[in-house]
Amino acid sequence: MKRITLLILTLCMASGLFAQDFDLLCGNLNYKPEVQTVLLYADDNQLNDPIVPLEDMMGRLTLSFDIIDGEGEVLNYTFIHCTHDWMPTDMQRIQYASGFESDRLDDYAFSRNTLIDYVNYQLKFPTEDMVPLISGNYLLVVFGNDLNDVYFTRRFMVVDEKAHVGATVPRYPDDLAFTDTHHQLDVRVNMNSYLTGNTQQYSFLNIRQNGRWDNAAIGLKPTYVYPDYISFEHHPQTVFEAANQYLRFNTSNFYFQSENLAHIRQTDESFEIDIATCESRARKAYISYEDIHGEKFVYVENENLDNSTEADYCRVNFFYKSESPLTHEDIYIMGALNDWCFNESNKMTYDYKLRGYTCSMVLKQGYYNFMFVTIDRKTHEIMTDLTAGNHWETNNVYKLYFYYYNAIKGYDELVGYSTVNSH
């Protein structure tokens, strides 16, 4: 994600028209520590990507988030159109959206019977008040009184299906050294009526592994252009570390010690949970089991309780056993539990007395996947080989986004989307 400056984004507010210059990262980021458990998904399923069809999008995206110790603050939202590589487009807002330029988040409720108080906000969109007009990438911005008071940003996408995107994961990659540790994708895009003489120049393919953005392949160009399809093959950026199945734990019931929970205790302030001791899986045999590809699913086991306002928060303690600290790398906990970001909240600290790495995170009740990864202090490369290991057998989901630059209107159309499992 690149740092960019959004200039003169004009918003129509109840207090009048104003313009702001502000800095923003076009990614899934929280700008305030009190913002927790941001969910953005399609069609009422927390595990769905936030992507909707252009011709049938109204009300199909759900946004939910909490403000810890909130008082029902007045919050607003808007969205901006982005290029295929997540930079803001140069288009005027009237070219990509109709209706208001921002709107208030009026649907909120206070938590009930929880040790940690919070306010939960909900939004179903797009609404008639603010509608995307074209396909492509969009950045949702939630803010307070003005755009200098951004609470968080989230990515979502609108697709206008004009192309069919398909992919395979061959057993043997081009580089045989990666046979047992990596996944290679061979991608074909069929778009007969849409092919032009500038297909090579105007086509872009993005590939994500599970929910990750850090290792996403962005802006790939076709390897071959044929009369009725294009292909992305034998490309080094379509080769991914296979990693391993995600580790998992469930906090939906504080009174039941489920799989991978070592201890559950209650203090005056909150519940506290210790995850069972973990260690490197790099040299261990691959074990197959179901996961949710690193995602989270927020819920309370008691069906009589409201997941949005009656699920409590708890402190979750992680311990990664290691006889000595790594020399050149830091260890982080990766997954949707931290919005797939890497910062101080999911960075582990080595404890010489315990002979291992520790980290604590405050999480809402639910089912979580996670994985330990390393980040090289010099190159900042994120790797799984030392902590999780890499196994070709790992079941990852790969998400394919195909864009075509509209030279007349000057923006990247998202004209194809599909997913493929490695197994």
Question: Is-contact 21 8, C-beta < 8 A?
Answer: yes
What per-residue confidence (pLDDT) applies to 195? 67
CA angle 136, 142, 362 (to 5 degrees): 110
389 in a structural domain: no
Same domain (yes/no): 122, 88: yes
* Residues 12/3, Cβ–Cβ less than 8 Å: no
Residues 128 and 143 in one domain: yes
214: alpha, beta or left, given left = phi > 0 and alpha = psi -120 to 50?
alpha
Among 125, 159, 193, residue at a domain's last position: 159
Residue 391: inside a domain? no
Q: How buried is residue 19: exposed, middle or buried, by Cβ count under 10 Å (0-12/13-18/19+)? A: exposed
Residues 300 and 338 in one domain: yes
| Global pTM exceeds 0.85 | yes
Contact (Cβ atoms closer than 8 angstroms) between residue 124 and residue 59: yes
Q: Is 155 exposed, middle or buried (0-12, 13-18, 19+ CB in 10 A)?
A: buried
Q: Is 322 found in the same domain as 182? A: no
Pick the last residue of a domain from 159, 189, 204: 159
Strand-pairing partners, residue 232, are: 187
- The answer on 76 and 26 residing in a single domain is yes
In a domain? residue 124: yes
Residue 31 burial class via C-beta count within 10 angstroms: exposed 0-12, middle 13-18, buried 19 and up = middle
Average pLDDT over residues 197-217: 95
Looking at the structure, tell me whether residues 155 and 171 fall in a common domain. no
**What share of the chain in percent tops pLDDT 90?**
88
Q: What angle do CA 164, 84, 145 make, to 5 degrees?
A: 125
The 10 Å CB-count burial string (b at 16+, else e) for 358-380 is ebebbbbbbbbbbbbbbbeeeee
pLDDT at 86: 97
pLDDT tens sequence across 134-144: 999 999 999 99
6-49 confidence digits (pLDDT tens): 322 322 222 232 333 445 678 999 999 999 999 999 999 999 99
Q: Do 36 and 135 belong to one domain?
A: yes
CA gap 383, 390 in Å, rounded: 10
In this structure, the answer to whether residues 155 and 168 fall within a common structural domain is no
pLDDT tier at 191, thresholds 50, 70, 90: confident
The CATH number that applies at residue 14 is: 2.60.40
Tell me, yes or no, whether 147 lies in a domain.
yes
Under DSSP, the state recorded for 176 is G
The whole-number average pLDDT for the span 147-164 is 96
Question: Does residue 45 lie in a domain region?
Answer: yes
Q: What is the pLDDT of residue 23?
A: 53
Q: What is the pLDDT of residue 17?
A: 28
Residues 86 and 139 in one domain: yes
- Tally of domains in the chain: 3
Among residues 108, 139, 159, the one where a domain terminates is 159
What is the torsion angle, in degrees rounded to the nearest 10, for the CA atoms of residue 83, residue 89, residue 91 and residue 93?
100
Report the pLDDT value the prediction gives residue 7, as an integer from 0 to 100: 28
Structural domain of residue 271, as residue ranges?
247-383
The pLDDT assigned to 24 comes to 67
Pick the more confident residue, 278 or 8.
278
Within-domain flag for 390: no
- In this structure, the answer to whether residues 226 and 356 fall within a common structural domain is no
- Over residues 149-172, the mean pLDDT reads 97
> What is the structure's pLDDT at 280?
98
Are the C-beta atoms of 148 and 31 separated by less than 8 Å? no
Report yes or no on 254 lying in a domain.
Answer: yes
Residues 205 and 64 in one domain: no
> What pLDDT band is residue 196 in, cutting at 50, 70 and 90?
confident
Tell me the percentage of the chain whose pLDDT exceeds 70.
Answer: 94
The reported pLDDT for the residue numbered 120 is 99
pLDDT score, position 19? 36
210 and 282 in a single domain? The answer is no
Residue 388 belongs to a domain: no
* Predicted local distance difference test score (pLDDT) of residue 5: 29
Tens digit of each residue's pLDDT (9 = 90 or more) over 341-393: 999 999 999 999 999 999 999 999 999 999 999 999 999 999 999 999 999 99
Lowest average pLDDT, out of 18-27, 122-131, 206-215, 362-371, goes to 18-27
Mean pLDDT score across all residues of the chain: 93
